[in-house]
């Protein structure tokens, strides 16, 4: 397949470009439907005249419908998007990139979603869908699923299909709450996921950042101890990855602590641990929930992160992580390849 694609790109490059353009138009309509022509043009960064020509063609092929509220995808259009997904993946050479990153970083698996979330926010939904499908394939009877909070993990939960055939599955938050946005806190996402897959759940009603004294007091509470026990015995952990500087600010670190992070060379954060470029923990905040020492004992790790600006953070946290399945976008993956190339 790769050889045929390379020949096609040499012989008829305009056909390949047109295919990708129309695929992007269909996918953008799908994730924003109903959507008007002007908004579609703005989202894609192309002229309205070009969009008008393309959508007329897609309508003639019964791939989209045009109504008063805007354009929507037909069932036939959805089928085309789904069937083209793997083709576009191969067309962009992402299978080769997946192998290179997997081998270099020592991962169990990597899934790269075509596109760059920094240029097209709808890629985040593709990311969530891929991660949800991965999670679904790993859940079995008696599974304990722990998940962190954040917008990225919310996309995973939102795209999780409903399940009803598993027995004695438990969902728990991987750590305490952070910030004021209830929708993306781990507690809320754990409950939402449990309802979708017919599982039980337990909540961790504890703020994320606590003093050591408060932490030790709360850990003696029976309810908290039970949840922490479930977290420590989880066989699936779903988590996001953040840049150290951004997560430090979100977690309320003061100016001196943020300066210290920079001096320590911290580039990535996960579960309240800050990692340098060599994958070493250089700083951590007191927390209740998953602890780094237990990560190696969790059978299935699903890390989701996207965007070119997170490439260093992804590498810092996922380096030599043989239990981890990394789900990222093309933008981050290509930047990781650039970093690897410079090192070599």
The pair of structure tokens assigned to 332 is: 């981050």
Residue ranges, comma separated, of all CATH 1.10.10.10 domains in the chain are 2-91
CB 146 within 8 A of CB 173: yes
Taking residues 115-143, what's their average pLDDT? 92
Task: Give the whole-angstrom CA distance, residue 168 versus residue 143.
Answer: 7
Model pLDDT, residue 112: 96
Taking residues 187-194, what's their average pLDDT? 94
- pLDDT digits over 211-247, tens only? 667 666 776 777 788 888 888 899 999 999 999 999 9
Residue ranges, comma separated, of all CATH 3.40.50.1360 domains in the chain are 94-343
- pLDDT digits over 144-170, tens only? 999 998 899 999 999 999 988 889 999
Query: How sure is the predictor about 308, in pLDDT bands with cuts at 50, 70 and 90?
Result: very high
State the number of CA atoms in the 13 A half-sphere of 75 facing the CB.
0
Taking residues 327-338, what's their average pLDDT? 96
Asked if residue 178 has pLDDT above 60, the reply is no
CB neighbours (10 Å) of residue 208?
22
Q: Give whichever of 17-26, 87-96, 151-160 has the largest mean pLDDT.
A: 151-160
Q: Which of 53-57, 174-178, 311-315, 323-327 shows the lowest per-residue confidence on average (mean pLDDT)?
A: 174-178
User: Does 3.90.1530.30 match the CATH number of domain 2-91?
Assistant: no
Question: Which one-letter DSSP state was computed for residue 65?
Answer: E
Phi, psi of 149 (to 5 degrees): -95, -170
CB 96 within 8 A of CB 333: no
Looking at domain 94-343, its CATH class is alpha beta
Model pLDDT, residue 79: 92
Model pLDDT, residue 147: 94
- pLDDT digits over 246-301, tens only? 998 888 888 998 999 999 999 999 988 999 999 999 998 777 778 777 788 899 99
Model pLDDT, residue 45: 82
Helix (H, G, I), strand (E, B) or coil at 46: coil
Kindly report the average pLDDT of the chain as a whole number. 88
DSSP β-bridge partners for residue 60: none
Model pLDDT, residue 1: 57
| Exposure string for 57-79, b = 16+ CB within 10 A, e = fewer | ebeeeebbbeeeebbbbeeebee
Phi, psi of 162 (to 5 degrees): -75, 140
Q: Which residues contact 306 (CB under 8 A, 6 or more apart)?
A: 113, 117, 123, 124, 127, 152, 328, 329, 331, 332
The whole-model pTM stands at: 0.88
CB 172 within 8 A of CB 149: no
| Percentage of the chain lying above the pLDDT 90 cut | 55
The pair of structure tokens assigned to 197 is: 């897959």
Model pLDDT, residue 4: 63
């Amino acid at each position: 397949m790769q050889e045929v694609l390379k020949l096609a790109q040499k012989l008829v490059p305009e056909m390949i470009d047109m295919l990708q353009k129309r695929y992007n138009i269909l996918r953008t309509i799908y994730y924003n439907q109903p959507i008007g022509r002007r908004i579609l043009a703005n989202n894609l960064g192309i002229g309205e005249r070009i969009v008008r020509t393309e959508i007329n063609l897609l309508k003639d092929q019964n791939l989209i419908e045009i109504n008063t509220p805007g354009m929507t995808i037909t069932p036939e259009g959805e089928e085309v998007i789904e069937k083209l997904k793997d083709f576009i993946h191969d067309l962009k050479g992402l299978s080769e990139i997946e192998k290179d990153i997997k081998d270099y970083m020592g991962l169990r698996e990597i899934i790269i979603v075509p596109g760059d979330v920094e240029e097209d926010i709808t890629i985040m939904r593709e990311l969530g869908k891929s991660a949800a499908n991965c999670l679904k394939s790993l859940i079995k009877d008696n599974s304990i699923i722990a998940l962190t909070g954040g917008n990225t993990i919310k996309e995973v939960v939102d795209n999780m299909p409903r399940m009803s055939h598993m027995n004695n599955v438990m969902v728990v938050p991987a750590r305490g709450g952070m910030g004021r946005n209830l929708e993306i806190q781990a507690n809320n996402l754990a409950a939402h996921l449990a309802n979708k897959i017919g599982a039980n759940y337990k909540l961790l009603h504890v703020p994320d950042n606590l003093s050591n004294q408060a932490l030790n007091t709360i850990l003696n509470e029976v309810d908290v101890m039970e949840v922490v026990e479930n977290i420590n015995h989880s066989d699936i952990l779903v988590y996001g990855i953040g840049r150290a500087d951004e997560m430090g600010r979100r977690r309320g670190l003061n100016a001196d602590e943020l300066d210290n992070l920079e001096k320590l060379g911290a580039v990535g954060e996960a579960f309240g641990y800050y990692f340098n470029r060599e994958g070493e923990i250089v700083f951590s905040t007191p927390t209740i929930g998953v602890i780094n020492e237990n990560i190696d004992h969790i059978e299935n790790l699903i890390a989701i992160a996207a965007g070119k600006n997170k490439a260093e953070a992804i590498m810092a946290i996922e380096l030599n992580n043989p239990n981890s399945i990394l789900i990222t976008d093309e933008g981050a993956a290509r930047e990781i390849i650039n970093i690897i190339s410079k090192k070599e």
